[in-house]
Amino acid sequence: MRRACVILVAVVVASCFNGSAALAQRGKGPGGFGGGMGGFGRGGDWGGMWEKYRQQRKEEEAKRNKAEAEKKLKERVAALLSEGWSNLKAGDTAAAVEVFYDVLELKADETEAFLGLGLTRASDGQYTLAQKQLELAFKGEKDRRLAAYNLAVLFTRLNQKPRAAVTLNTYLASKSKIPDEMVLNAQRSLVLGQMDENMRKGIGLLPQIQKLIAEQDKQLVAVLYANQERFGVAWLPADTASKARQAGKTDIYSKELPFVLPDMTVLKGKKSGGDAINTNLPEIAAGLAKESLASAGIAMPEPLPAVATADNPGAIGLPNGGKPTGRIEKPTLSNGQDAPQPGTVEPGTTGPAPSATPAVAAAPAAAEAKPMIEAAVTVRGAAFCVAPGILATSARIVQGATTIRITMTDADPVDGEIVSVDEASGLALVRTSARLSPIPLAEGSKTGHATVACFAKAGIFGPELDLLRGELTVGGGKASLRLPSHPRSVGAPVLNDEGLVVGIVSAGRDDPAANLPVIPIETLRKLLGNQVSAVASVPQPHQAVAEITVMRKQQ
């Protein structure tokens, strides 16, 4: 029995040895299991396959990371644009400028940001700057509609109404299928309502403009307004407009074209001018016409609804309680009867003859309505720790705040609350639970090398702290900073070569990087008083500086 076991063990050992030799020969290794495993390394067939697999994994990972970054970028840009429009609607043009510039730093060709900057500048009466931004927006397809309209409005403010008419005509000529009714109404208001005969003669393209207006009116009759006629920018049932004129009522036109936001509401800036309401919107024009007829004692059936479509987003008179239905809407008369289809003529009506009506497809499915812009302000800056749980920042950032959020570079946001705001100094103190380390304050501000700890760019994944090196100039109780680029972060600390705070950035986005206003450290020391405490060591910037985000609602 023992002999048999010995023989069996010998056979097994021999088999293992032969297998090892075979593996060694396959892998061209030095022999044994070491050589055999070498066959799975770089020298063997499996080695090449493994390297190829690893490379494929790296490429797939890179694609996933790129796709994730692109997704985050898109989300971040969309969120910032929403903030920018809210800031503008709330009337805080400085905050709007900051956000729209943030968008362009993330995506340099974002035409909606150019549109936002153009309208922001127009709101402040800075028409030269506004024109440049709106022209950039007009070059893109996505925001071409509002860019064309608002650029034309800008030209009217510059007393260049003929140029405004040509701008609108250029856009309308590109809408060959279904006219953009709001922009067409603006052209009618401008050329037919606001210009006298002498001014119209100054338009070289007047014949083409008048022809296009007539053609697109016919298209609208065929698609949306069967058996109706124009009453300025409004539509009335056949023969009703003539009765209104006989009663002494004038056609409905916009007296002064207003600048318009993406939600089709009027920009109400300090120097934007224009009508208080957007008369050129079909729904508003219809309401004004109805009021005009009622005041003259003229009865009329309900006007046909203007159906918002993908090609005609200006027509906002939607069925279903004003909500888009996502289906093709069939126009009906006020008595419930179906309206005549394009190209047909009902007996006794003024509908167009088939030969006089351009071939127009039925209105496409209703477009998603533009969301209303909330009038609220969101601003960002920097804050730095001066005592346990106490941050210093800019007064104009936190003034009127309803919500304050403090975000470190490596932690989730936490709430903050105002301790004090000193308008005279331009500084404020905020209390927070963020785990930040106090940064020591210099005894005074001195001219020399300086570094700003700031958030110079709008991060995609969160705030990213930057250190910008520059020169601080102090004199006459004032201080200014020269940097290679804008720090973006009002409230950021200015540090000397020892890491001590010597000033606080008070610059806005329009201040040049070569001459940025700075609040001297003496002013902060005076505000803090006995709250200034000795600091044993200088912390790293990311341990002491955080991004502060402030939201405030419009009153």
Report whether pLDDT(350) > 80: no
Q: By percentage, how much of the chain surpasses pLDDT 70?
A: 77
Whether the model clears a pTM of 0.95, i.e. scores above it, the answer is no
pLDDT per residue as tens digits for the range 296-315 = 998 876 544 544 444 444 44
More confident site: 26 or 167: 167
> For residue 462, what pLDDT is reported?
85
Average pLDDT over residues 316-330: 33
**pLDDT recorded at residue 47:** 61
Half-sphere exposure of 68 toward its Cβ, with a 13 Å CA cutoff? 7
How many C-beta atoms lie closer than 10 Å to residue 294's C-beta? 11
Average pLDDT score over the chain: 81
Sign of the Cα torsion 365, 368, 370, 372 reads positive
Using only C-alpha atoms, what is the Rg of the chain?
A: 35
pLDDT higher than 60, residue 160: yes
| Confidence band, pLDDT 50/70/90 cuts, at residue 4 | very low
Look at the block and give the residue holding tokens 């010597």: 502
Overall average pLDDT of the 236-249 stretch: 92
Condensed to tens digits (0 to 9), the pLDDT of residues 54-99 reads: 777 777 777 778 888 889 999 999 999 999 999 999 999 999 999 9
Residue 128 has pLDDT above 50, yes or no: yes
Nearest one of 447, 444, 429 to 391, comparing CA atoms: 429
Residues 6+ apart with CB under 8 A from 152: 164, 165, 167, 168, 186, 190, 257
- Cα dihedral 479, 485, 489, 493, rounded to 10, equals -50
Q: pLDDT tier at 555 (50, 70, 90 boundaries)?
A: low
pLDDT digits (tens, 9 = 90+) for 14-54: 444 444 444 344 344 444 434 444 444 444 566 667 777 67
Contact 402, 377 (CB under 8 A): no
Contacts of 321 (CB under 8 A, 6+ apart): none
Write the pLDDT tens digit of every residue in 207-233.
999 999 999 999 999 999 999 999 999
| 301 in Cβ contact with 237 (< 8 Å) | yes
Percent of the chain at pLDDT > 90 equals 62
User: Quick one: average pLDDT of 169-193?
Assistant: 91
